[in-house]
Amino acid sequence: MLTSVDLTESGLPTEETLRRYRDQGFVHLRSVLSPDEVAGFRAAAEELLAEEGPATWGASEDETQVHYVEGAWRKHPELRRLALHPVVTRIAEGLAGGPLRLYGTDVLKKDPHVHLPTVVHDDEPGLPLAGLTRTLTAWIPLVDVPVERGCLIYVPGSHRRAPEHRQVHLAGFQDYRPMEEIWPAYPFSPRISVPMRAGDVVLHDFRTVHMAGVNTDGERRLAFASVYMDSDATYRPGVQDHPVAHLTPGAPVDGDDFPLIAGDPGTTP
Ligand SMILES: O=C(O)CCC(=O)C(=O)O
């Protein structure tokens, strides 16, 4: 189920979609997955959450922003299918403009009783990787996510801010600095809320500043996020580096654990 407005017949982003992505640092594509696909992926995500007992994104359980299960694609065959979905990966590679590998995937849930918004951040400093130029995240809601359910909010164009206004790497969480400190223009920058239907996909550049609101809606917000990295990225020790900590610093992050993605138009995973 592809939107002809955003994608070409072969499933690649149109020139206009590419222009929007390059200009704004994110792009929202509607009805990329069918309702049947979404139902299967949602059931898988719920199964995994029930089995795993999710981790907490936040300083403590009381300060939770999101609950998540990391490495989801390795833990459930349906979620592997989603992470390597040929339509999504083709779009990702088309936007990135070069080869990508799957770095990681999370199931993300934001329950109505979770009272904190998702912190203002970009993805770059939290990735223990070097050599990144085109890395991006595909965020896929598995239920409808209206504004009130804690949708993503982006600062358009923020991926193009000057290097002195970016925190490129976090060797440890003690180095973390709030966005307004690193980028004084942030509090005055317009933001765009992106409410989404289940089956839509939003893709954002690794430098795009984003956050998410609080879920005040009463129903759980459930989503799946895949990070697709530059195919020649290397290991740079940093925060949350346990998936790659067995590597020597500077070594390529590749092999079966970090597969090349190759979206093939028209095929189903
Ligand atoms: O789901 C959220 O609230 C935040 C997700 C996010 O920041 C990301 O996937 O990059």
Distance CA 127, CA 129 (A): 5
Residue of 118, 143, 206 to test ligand 1 pocket, by largest number of atoms within 8 Å of CB: 118
Residue 152 makes CB contacts below 8 A (sequence gap 6+) with 139, 193, 194, 196, 202, 204, 210, 211, 212
The residues spanned by each domain of the chain are 15-235
Residue written as token pair 């299967």: 40
Written as six digits, the tokens of 218 are 């009463």
Half-sphere exposure in the Cβ direction for 82 (13 Å, CA): 39
Q: Is 43 in a helix, a strand, or coil?
A: helix
Q: Which atom from ligand 1 is nearest to the alpha carbon of 108?
A: 1
Q: Can you give the pLDDT at residue 5?
A: 84
Residue of 64, 68, 88, 108 to test ligand 1 pocket, by largest number of atoms within 8 Å of CB: 108
Residue type, 265: P
Q: Which atom from ligand 1 is nearest to the alpha carbon of 110?
A: 3
139 lines ligand 1 (CB under 6 A): yes
Written as six digits, the tokens of 167 are 């925190």
118 lines ligand 1 (CB under 6 A): yes
Instruction: Give distance in angstroms: CA of 211 to centre of ligand 1.
Output: 7
Instruction: Give distance in angstroms: CA of 193 to centre of ligand 1.
Output: 13
- Among the four given CATH numbers 3.90.550.10, 2.60.120.620, 3.40.50.1220, 3.40.50.1100, the one describing domain 15-235: 2.60.120.620
Q: Can you give the pLDDT at residue 267?
A: 47
Q: Can you give the pLDDT at residue 110?
A: 96
Q: Is 231 in a helix, a strand, or coil?
A: coil
State the first-to-last Cα distance of the chain, in angstroms, to the nearest integer: 14
Strands 64-70 and 100-110, sheet pairing: antiparallel
225 lines ligand 1 (CB under 6 A): yes
Q: Can you give the pLDDT at residue 269?
A: 44
Strands 234-235 and 26-29, sheet pairing: unpaired
Written as six digits, the tokens of 170 are 């976090």
Q: Can you give the pLDDT at residue 62?
A: 87
Q: Can you give the pLDDT at residue 1?
A: 47
Strands 234-235 and 64-70, sheet pairing: unpaired
Distance CA 189, CA 29 (A): 24
Residue of 137, 191, 222, 229 to test ligand 1 pocket, by largest number of atoms within 8 Å of CB: 137
Question: Which residue's CA is the nearest one to ligand 1's atom 7?
Answer: 211
Q: Which atom from ligand 1 is nearest to the alpha carbon of 106?
A: 9
Q: Which atom from ligand 1 is nearest to the alpha carbon of 210?
A: 7
Distance CA 81, CA 268 (A): 9
Written as six digits, the tokens of 105 are 């995937």
Q: Can you give the pLDDT at residue 266?
A: 45
Distance CA 267, CA 215 (A): 35
Residue type, 34: S
Residue of 152, 194, 202, 215 to test ligand 1 pocket, by largest number of atoms within 8 Å of CB: 152
Residues of the chain where predicted confidence (pLDDT) is lower than 50: 1, 265-269
Instruction: Give distance in angstroms: CA of 71 to centre of ligand 1.
Output: 15
Q: Is the separation of the CB atoms in 29 and 203 below 8 Å?
A: yes
Q: Can you give the pLDDT at residue 264?
A: 52
